[in-house]
A and B are shown apart, each in its own frame.
Chain A
Amino acid sequence: MINTKAKLSLKQAILGVTAIAGLVFAGQAHAEELRLLTWGGYAPESVVKQFKEETGIDVKVTKSNNEEMIAKLRATGGGGFDLAQPSQDRISGAQAEHRIYKPIDLSKIDSSQFIGSMLEATKTNTTYKGDVYGVPHVWGTSGLVLNTKLASTVKDYTDLCNDAVAGKVSYRLKRPTLIGFAFALGHDPFAAYGDKAKYEEIMGDVESKLISCKANVKTYWEGGDALLNLVRSGEVVAAMAWDTGGWKLNNDNADVTFVAPKSGALGWIDTFVLPKKTENEAAAYKWINFVMRPEVAAQITAAAGNFTASKGADEHADDKLKAQFQSSFPQADLDNIKWYPTVPPGLETIEGKVLDRVKAASSN
């Protein structure tokens, strides 16, 4: 008797183990994954969790920036990720050069969730050979982050070179700075995008301004956190930076805020694109439609500090952020935002040389 019982239980045990093993395997086969290449704050924990609950898809988030995104996708020929979020001006050029993206099937996207004008503008800007490659997600601007008490004389990018703020200024040595200074010097670099000679002339002008301005600069900031630290500690009173940085600092110190410069803040839109070798397109579309829902988009706005292209999300946004946005952007400044057009080939080489020469110039 005892013997049979033991045998039975052994058999049961084996069956049980097999069943569990089977479940594990089945589970593995069904656990879907979406590998997302994005910016910090664009896929907050809570949103990822909610998406998993709703669809069963795991989102694996990799945080990056424009240049790194393109470099990563280029190195793998558009593989390794299922969905990426470069800025809209970096799509058709990169596609023409490296073939790293896949056209978006607009029929799979719920366009009613988008702010119409922004969706249309992004579609136009990211079209390459008749195919649309990007839809908008998060947008924001770069302009001036100022300590309004100590740097009240700064109204435009070129004012960063004033004696009043000498040694207490910081900006990046990247293309937005070149574009911003070009506008502040009275040029229109975007209009000269098609005319290389003209563009080179403008950049030459910007170069001499930036070199003469170098003595004023404390350091060229690299990461957003480094800049926040510089302003928070009072070592820097005026900087060229993103709007969210200014609003974050405003929470700690009411004197510091984001100001749209006289020549216009520079507007960017980060998008959704499909890498060429995406392995889970269905999940990518599900994610896009999910995060564009107004209440989800509001959560992303809260995490990233920037507004999204989702229609109606503003109603769910934090009142403080809305107030900060309205005080930084009166209607006239909002209309004056300069949106980045697509970068044509060859310009980055010109800009690169200018940046190198500014960096190499001696500051006195």
Chain B
Amino acid sequence: MSTLQMVSGTEKSTTIPMIKLGTFLLMLPLLLWLFLLIILPHLDLLTVSLREKLGYREYAFSFQNYIEFFTEPLYWNTFVRTAVMSIVATAITLVVGFPVSYYIAKVLKGKKRNLLFMMCLIPFWVSELVRTFGWMILLRESGVISSFLQWAGLVDGPVELLYSDATLMVGLVYTSMLFMVVPLVSVLDTLDDSLIEAGYDLGGSTYSILREIVIPHAMPGIASGCIVVFMLTLGNYLTPTLLGGKDSLWFTEQIYNQFITRFNWESGSAFGFLLLFLSSAIVFVGLKLSRQTLADTVK
């Protein structure tokens, strides 16, 4: 009898099988990671968010920071704006990403397929900051596109393409494209070509096959792609700040401001929690509307 069995046999009335200890040890890094780096800081943030500053080093328990979010239209509007922009960006990413993924997964074969897939990946080898600066070089008033348009005689003076909501949207869609394409390609890969052929044999039009066969099959991939893109967009800080310019109030920027420039950790923490809950709620509603479950999307 090994020592381990003895321990599990004597200490508890119900015997813990050996495999459980092994699983536990294997999971330990993950559990420690989750507990020390995710749960513990969040608990600390929660306590910070639930106190109100009365004076120097004087604090009291209060929901003031949360109440302020709902009573001050400024913060509420910023959140709504961020959420709506993120939803629109997710929808555009899906509309652009779906045909691309379908083409990669179903139409192309062999080397061409790998090449195209790599071309989607390569921009993500450089950091987000560099990619965003790339857009700034292209779009600024003295930038590449503006100079080209002037050279071609299409416009009279320099045009400013930066610092608008449309630019911001382009930036957001570009940044998140990969996270939509990868799950879509992998889910479309699993769709048997013979199902599509059968659809055509039975006299289905391209549209009805897309609606009846391809999209229902791809639904888990669409859902997981949308969740990832939505969350990334909502939590994006760089793109809105750099491309959006003077009108780009983004909720994450608001949180950063509260923490770093206002020294107001209390309301910053409260905003962080509200972002977590409200975005989770939006994802939940989205899943319910599309009749998907979270378990399906991670299959």
Which residues does chain A contribute within 8 Å of B163, judged by CB atoms?
218-219
Q: How many residues belonging to B are interface residues under a CB distance threshold of 8 Å?
A: 27
B77 within 8 A of A: yes
Closest Cβ–Cβ distance, residue B144 to chain A (whole Å): 13
Nearest chain A residue, comparing its CB with the CB of B78: A360
Which residues does chain B contribute within 8 Å of A233, judged by CB atoms?
140-142
Closest Cβ–Cβ distance, residue B145 to chain A (whole Å): 14
**A-contact 0/1 string along B70-98, CB 8 Å cutoff:** 00001101100000000000000000000
Closest Cβ–Cβ distance, residue A251 to chain B (whole Å): 20
Q: Give the docked Cα–Cα distance between A353 and B78 (Å).
A: 13
Instruction: Say whether A363 contacts B246, CB under 8 Å.
Output: yes
Instruction: Say whether B142 contacts A352, CB under 8 Å.
Output: no
**A-contact 0/1 string along B147-189, CB 8 Å cutoff:** 0000000000000101100000000000000000000000000
B201 within 8 A of A: no
Instruction: Say whether B245 contacts A96, CB under 8 Å.
Output: no
Which residues does chain B contribute within 8 Å of A11, judged by CB atoms?
none
- Of the listed stretches B25-33, B108-116, B120-128, B254-262, chain A binds B254-262
B207 within 8 A of A: no
Nearest chain A residue, comparing its CB with the CB of B142: A233
Q: Give the docked Cα–Cα distance between A73 and B105 (Å).
A: 52
Closest Cβ–Cβ distance, residue A87 to chain B (whole Å): 14
Q: Give the docked Cα–Cα distance between A219 and B139 (Å).
A: 14
> Which of B55, B162, B261 is A345 in contact with, Cβ under 8 Å?
B55
Which residues does chain A contribute within 8 Å of B77, judged by CB atoms?
360
Q: Give the docked Cα–Cα distance between A363 and B246 (Å).
A: 8
Instruction: Say whether A96 contacts B56, CB under 8 Å.
Output: yes
Instruction: Say whether A360 contacts B263, CB under 8 Å.
Output: no
Which residues does chain B contribute within 8 Å of A359, judged by CB atoms?
246, 249
Closest Cβ–Cβ distance, residue B230 to chain A (whole Å): 23
Closest Cβ–Cβ distance, residue B25 to chain A (whole Å): 33
B247 within 8 A of A: yes
**A-contact 0/1 string along B10-33, CB 8 Å cutoff:** 000000000000000000000000
Q: How many residues belonging to A are interface residues under a CB distance threshold of 8 Å?
A: 31
With A218-B160, A357-B74, A360-B74 known as contacts, the answer to whether A68 contacts B245 (CB < 8 A) is no
Which residues does chain B contribute within 8 Å of A234, judged by CB atoms?
142
Instruction: Say whether B141 contacts A345, CB under 8 Å.
Output: no
Nearest chain B residue, comparing its CB with the CB of A215: B246
Which residues does chain B contribute within 8 Å of A70, judged by CB atoms?
263
Closest Cβ–Cβ distance, residue A129 to chain B (whole Å): 11
Q: Give the docked Cα–Cα distance between A68 and B74 (Å).
A: 25
Number of A-B pairs, beta carbon distance below 8 Å: 66
Quick one: which of B239-259 are within 8 Å of A by CB?
A: 241, 245-247, 249, 254, 257-259
Closest Cβ–Cβ distance, residue A230 to chain B (whole Å): 9
A349 within 8 A of B: yes
**B-contact 0/1 string along A72-114, CB 8 Å cutoff:** 0010000000000000000000001101000000000000000
Instruction: Say whether B249 contacts A360, CB under 8 Å.
Output: yes
Q: Give the docked Cα–Cα distance between A71 and B263 (Å).
A: 7
Nearest chain A residue, comparing its CB with the CB of B244: A219
Closest Cβ–Cβ distance, residue B173 to chain A (whole Å): 21
Instruction: Say whether B264 contacts A349, CB under 8 Å.
Output: yes
Instruction: Say whether A348 contacts B245, CB under 8 Å.
Output: no
Closest Cβ–Cβ distance, residue A202 to chain B (whole Å): 19
Which residues does chain B contribute within 8 Å of A360, judged by CB atoms?
74, 77-78, 249
Q: Give the docked Cα–Cα distance between A68 and B249 (Å).
A: 21
Q: Give the docked Cα–Cα distance between A357 and B257 (Å).
A: 13
B299 within 8 A of A: no
With A220-B245, A222-B241, A360-B249 known as contacts, the answer to whether A67 contacts B78 (CB < 8 A) is no
Which residues does chain B contribute within 8 Å of A355, judged by CB atoms?
257
B57 within 8 A of A: yes
Nearest chain A residue, comparing its CB with the CB of B247: A363
Instruction: Say whether A68 contacts B260, CB under 8 Å.
Output: yes
Q: Give the docked Cα–Cα distance between A219 and B162 (Å).
A: 9
Closest Cβ–Cβ distance, residue A357 to chain B (whole Å): 6
Instruction: Say whether B264 contacts A220, CB under 8 Å.
Output: no
Which residues does chain A contribute within 8 Å of B262, judged by CB atoms?
348-349, 352
Instruction: Say whether B257 contacts A356, CB under 8 Å.
Output: yes
Enumerate the 4 nearest inter-chain pairs by beta-carbon distance, A residue then B residue, closest first: A219-B245, A352-B262, A233-B142, A96-B56
Interface residues of B (CB under 8 A from A): 55-57, 74-75, 77-78, 140-142, 160, 162-163, 241, 245-247, 249, 254, 257-264
For this complex, 6 residue pairs linking A to B, each with C-beta atoms less than 8 Å apart, are: A67-B261, A71-B259, A96-B57, A99-B57, A235-B141, A360-B74
Apart from A67-B261, A349-B262, 17 more pairs, CB < 8 Å: A67-B260, A71-B259, A71-B260, A97-B56, A218-B245, A218-B246, A219-B246, A222-B241, A235-B140, A235-B141, A235-B142, A348-B262, A349-B264, A352-B264, A353-B74, A356-B249, A359-B249
